[in-house]
């Protein structure tokens, strides 16, 4: 009886090691991580923004000049790449921009500054983009 219990315990221990090794390997192979997107209003007027992806909605947020807003999510490690798109509205202007494109944005902390001419990503060099519309 004791030999049977020892074999069961040894088998369970080996399975646990295999499971942990597999899960660590899957995480590193598929790069599972939490992405954070931070947007700072660099305009001289309030900025209203609304960001979402195909299944999540970050809701409408209004930022005063100099204020920031952050949201976070886990990018899709399988199949279709994650895409977060936003609308930006201030007095006399309405624009759209894809604030997180998984294939373009290889960052875990994506920091953006929002200007009248378009959003600028700080990564660590500044790269500015034009508005889509």
Give the Cα separation of 58 and 14 in Å (integer).
43
Mean pLDDT confidence for 17-31: 50
Per-residue pLDDT tens over the stretch 32-82: 788 999 999 999 999 999 999 999 999 999 999 999 999 999 988 876 789
Residues 61, 124: one domain?
yes
Closest listed residue to residue 75, CA positions, set 21, 27, 120, 22: 27
The whole-model pTM stands at 0.75
pLDDT value of position 27: 44
**Cβ pair 74, 33 in contact under 8 A:** yes
Asked if pLDDT for residue 16 goes beyond 60, the answer is no
Domain extent, residue 26, equals 1-30
- Please count the structural domains in the chain: 2
Contact by Cβ (8 Å): 101, 83:
yes
In-domain check, residue 133: no
Residues 26 and 39 in one domain: no
């Amino acid at each position: 009886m004791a030999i049977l219990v020892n074999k069961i315990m040894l088998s369970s221990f080996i399975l646990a090691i295999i499971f942990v090794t597999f899960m660590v390997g899957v995480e590193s192979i598929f790069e599972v991580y939490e992405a954070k997107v931070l947007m700072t209003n660099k305009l001289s007027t309030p900025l209203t923004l609304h960001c979402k992806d195909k299944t999540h909605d970050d809701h409408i947020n209004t930022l005063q000049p100099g204020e920031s807003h952050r949201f976070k999510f886990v990018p899709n490690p399988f199949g279709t790449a994650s895409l977060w798109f936003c609308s930006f509205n201030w007095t006399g202007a309405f624009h759209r921009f894809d604030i997180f494109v998984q294939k373009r944005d290889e960052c875990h902390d994506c920091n953006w500054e929002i200007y009248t001419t378009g959003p600028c990503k700080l990564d660590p060099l500044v790269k500015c983009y034009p508005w889509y519309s």
